[in-house]
């Protein structure tokens, strides 16, 4: 069998197949073709990635990439290059009122995959910058259930779920009301939700108690107030009950939602995240989130094994999206891969409150394979 591209001599880390060994990875016709030793490279584009790590294409489950359409939007392709991400999941940048523009002008021309959660608010996240910060859930007149259902039904090839944002900043005096509407839309469309929580009200427990199996609570390691741990550092019982019934917990680092203190407490008590994501946007891409590989590196510094960290940005994220063709290097799956280095040294990594941990190891993006082709070195 002839191949289009072969990545040679890399350390292949694919948790979906329980693989962690040096091997070649070959691609043909836009798909993964084979993993093996000394594969035939006749006629192929050969990239020697010896000393580097090859993983399934990284999935960042929480990004904001409606560049030019919202003040938070960043350029998806530029972000993918710097972070070796092959799938950006945009979490509610667009609502039903501006989704058509997001699809036509950003998603369809993009060289990397963009899968959106549709915001339950008509215009999505429209009022966030360094000078203006207006929570889109404050005004319940913008909650657009009928429009959401229409847009989902017209775009089921792309839309993976419904997004709603709750908290003092996001929904203000409307409190938990936007969740009522999002639940109704999710039920009508048969899609899961991703739910943002910031400072109270509503409380962390009030939100988590209403989530269903397959729904995602993002910002799950946020700092006080509305942290997932109490003042004694104990995981709140509502989270344990939610996980038992199938609610999923995502990091969503962003500019305000990752705390070293919270992370230590959660991991010490056996409550790891289901998925690790950056929540990268215009207000945190230059810190404290930066990108996906920086976010992943923070969990290495917390003591999570490399395989678990990679799983949280590949196979676990694909499972959350109900996209089994992603997040794996199984032959026949989508031909996306990320090439990373795991460097040793002294690397300062900050959380959203300014605490800095100096890590001894850090992941860096070194290359990206998209659709079975070498797309770009970082």
Query: pTM for the complete prediction?
Result: 0.98
Q: Was 163 annotated as part of a binding site?
A: yes
Distance between CA atoms of 252 and 213, rounded to whole angstroms?
19
* Cβ count within 10 A of residue 264: 16
CA 238 to each of CA 163, 199, 241: distance values in angstroms, whole numbers, following the listed order: 21, 17, 5
- Cα dihedral 279, 86, 246, 64 sign: positive
pLDDT for res 377:
72
User: Any known ligand binding at 196?
Assistant: yes
- The domain 5-55+331-376 belongs to what CATH superfamily? Urease, subunit C, domain 1 (2.30.40.10)
Q: What are the boundaries of each domain within the chain?
A: 5-55+331-376, 57-321
258-276 pLDDT per residue, tens:
999 999 999 999 999 999 9
In the structure, what pLDDT confidence band is assigned to residue 1 with cuts at 50, 70 and 90?
confident
* Residue 316: per-residue pLDDT: 98
State mean pLDDT over 241-249.
98
Give the mean model confidence (pLDDT) for residues 14-34. Answer: 98
Q: Is 64 annotated as a binding residue?
A: yes
Q: Given this model, what pLDDT does residue 360 score? A: 98
Nearest 5°: the CA angle 155, 75, 159 is 15
Q: Each residue of 175-200: pLDDT tens digit?
A: 999 999 999 999 999 999 999 999 99
Domains 5-55+331-376 and 57-321 share a fold: no
pLDDT tens string 68-106: 999 999 999 999 999 999 999 999 999 999 999 999 999
- CATH level 3 topology of 57-321: TIM Barrel (3.20.20)
Per-residue pLDDT band for 26 (boundaries 50, 70, 90) equals very high
37 marked as part of a ligand binding site? no
**Region 27-49 average pLDDT:** 97
CA dist 140 and 368 (Å) reads: 42
Q: Give which of 278, 373, 363, 337 is closest to 86, Cα–Cα.
A: 337
Is beta strand 31-36 parallel, antiparallel or unpaired with respect to 85-91?
unpaired
Does the annotation list 279 as a binding residue? yes
Q: What is the pLDDT of residue 378?
A: 57
Which of the four pLDDT bands, split at 50, 70 and 90, describes residue 376? confident
On the question of pLDDT at 353 being above 80, the answer is yes
* pLDDT, average across residues 13-40: 98
Residue 75 counted as an annotated binding residue? no
pLDDT tens, position by position, 279-333: 999 999 999 999 999 999 999 999 999 999 999 999 999 999 999 999 999 999 9
Phi and psi dihedrals of 151, rounded to 5? -70, -40
Calculate the average pLDDT of the chain: 97
Q: Which residues pair with 359 in a beta bridge?
A: 347
Nearest to 197 by CA among 234, 149, 238, 231: 238
Q: What percent of the chain has pLDDT over 90?
A: 97
Query: In this predicted model, what pLDDT tens digit does every residue of 147-159 receive, in sequence order?
Result: 999 999 999 999 9
Distance of CA 166 to CAs 203, 208, 274, 281, Å? Answer: 9, 11, 21, 18
254 Rama sector, left if φ>0, alpha if ψ -120 to 50, beta otherwise: left
Give the per-residue pLDDT at 133.
85
Give dist(CA 294, CA 297) in Å, integer: 5
Residue 128 confidence class, pLDDT cut points 50, 70, 90: confident
């Amino acid at each position: 069998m002839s191949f289009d591209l072969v990545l040679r001599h890399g350390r292949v880390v694919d948790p979906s197949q329980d693989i962690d060994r040096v091997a070649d990875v070959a691609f043909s016709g836009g798909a993964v073709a084979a993993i093996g030793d000394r594969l035939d490279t006749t006629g192929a584009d050969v990239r020697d990635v010896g000393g580097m790590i090859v993983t399934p294409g990284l999935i960042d489950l929480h990004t904001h990439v409606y560049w030019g359409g919202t003040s938070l939007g960043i350029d998806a392709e530029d972000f993918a290059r710097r972070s070796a991400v092959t799938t950006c999941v945009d979490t509610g940048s667009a609502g039903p009122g501006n989704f058509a523009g997001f699809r036509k002008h950003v998603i369809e021309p993009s060289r990397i995959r963009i899968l959106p959660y549709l915001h339950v608010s008509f215009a999505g996240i429209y009022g966030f910058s360094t000078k203006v910060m207006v929570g889109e859930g404050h005004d319940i007149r913008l909650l657009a259930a009928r429009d959401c259902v229409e847009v989902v039904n017209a775009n089921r090839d792309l839309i993976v779920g419904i997004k709603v944002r709750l908290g003092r900043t996001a929904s203000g005096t409307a409190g938990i009301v936007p969740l009522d509407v999002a639940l109704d839309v999710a039920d009508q469309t048969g899609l899961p939700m991703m739910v943002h929580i910031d400072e109270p009200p509503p409380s962390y427990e009030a939100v988590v108690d209403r989530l269903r199996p397959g729904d995602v609570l993002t910002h799950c390691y946020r700092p006080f107030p509305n942290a997932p741990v109490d003042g004694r550092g104990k995981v709140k019982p509502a989270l344990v009950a939610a996980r038992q019934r199938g609610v999923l917990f995502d990091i969503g680092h962003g500019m305000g939602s990752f705390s070293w203190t919270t992370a230590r407490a959660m991991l010490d008590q056996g409550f790891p995240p289901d998925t690790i994501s950056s929540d990268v946007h215009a207000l945190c891409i230059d810190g404290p989130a930066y990108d996906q590989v920086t976010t992943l590196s923070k969990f290495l510094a917390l003591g999570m094994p490399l395989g678990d960290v990679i799983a949280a940005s590949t196979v676990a994220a694909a499972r959350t999206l109900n996209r089994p063709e992603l997040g794996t290097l199984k032959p026949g799956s989508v031909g996306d891969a990320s090439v990373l280095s795991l460097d040793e040294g002294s690397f300062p990594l900050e959380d959203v409150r300014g605490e800095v941990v100096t890590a001894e190891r850090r992941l860096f993006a070194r290359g990206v394979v998209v659709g079975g082709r070498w797309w770009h070195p970082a």
